[in-house]
């Protein structure tokens, strides 16, 4: 299968600087093998793009459903420039998957709007474990890396717009 990583993501990888950014990361403990790989990708990418290790805060929550609240807690206590939300929901035999995915996506979107700050949705919503592994460092890349690049890009955009006169 082809890796469909966008050219914009590839360009960002070489041009973004996060040297003076503070980034929060909230990561689900559920599907831990997958979420640890996403976290590793995010951390490596943040550091490669100049975010000092001391400016990165990582906190865990039990599952993906708790990601929005965990992200809000990080925001309200530490006020980072962005919060990356890492999780993995794998479809089972019941509709539980649908409720969790919709709730988490909506919760993270609401945080973006409430705080006018990037809360990056990096929650894998997969049909099976193989699809999750493919997106956590496998043939589809690492969505944690992409989330880190998105966080840096959105903080840079916010800063740029703050300096632009209306």
Rounded mean pLDDT of 149-166?
Answer: 93
d(CA 55, CA 16) in angstroms, rounded, equals 16
pLDDT at 97 over 50: yes
Among the options 96, 102, 129, 157, which is catalytic? Answer: 96
- In this prediction, residue 4 carries a pLDDT of 43
pLDDT at 3 over 80: no
Residues 6+ apart with CB under 8 A from 62: 28, 29, 30
Rounded mean pLDDT of 11-40?
Answer: 89
Q: Is 22 a catalytic residue?
A: no
Structural domains of the chain in order of their starting residue, each with its CATH number: 21-160 (3.40.50.960)
For the full predicted model, state whether its pTM sits above 0.95: no
């Amino acid at each position: 299968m082809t890796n469909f990583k966008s050219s914009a993501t590839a360009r960002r990888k070489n041009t973004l600087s996060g040297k003076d950014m503070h980034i929060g990361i909230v990561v689900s403990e559920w599907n831990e093998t997958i979420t640890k790989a996403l976290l590793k990708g995010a951390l490596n990418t943040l550091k490669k793009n100049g975010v000092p290790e001391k400016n990165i805060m990582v906190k865990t929550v039990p599952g993906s459903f708790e990601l929005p609240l965990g992200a809000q807690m990080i925001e309200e206590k530490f006020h980072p420039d962005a919060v990356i939300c890492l999780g993995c929901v794998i479809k089972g035999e019941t509709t539980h998957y649908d409720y969790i995915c919709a709730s988490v996506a909506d919760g993270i979107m609401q945080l973006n709007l409430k705080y006018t700050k990037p809360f990056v949705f990096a929650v894998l919503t997969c049909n099976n474990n193989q699809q999750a592994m493919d997106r956590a460092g496998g043939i589809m890349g690492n969505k944690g890396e992409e989330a880190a690049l998105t966080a840096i890009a959105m903080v840079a955009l916010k800063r740029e717009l703050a300096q632009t006169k209306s």
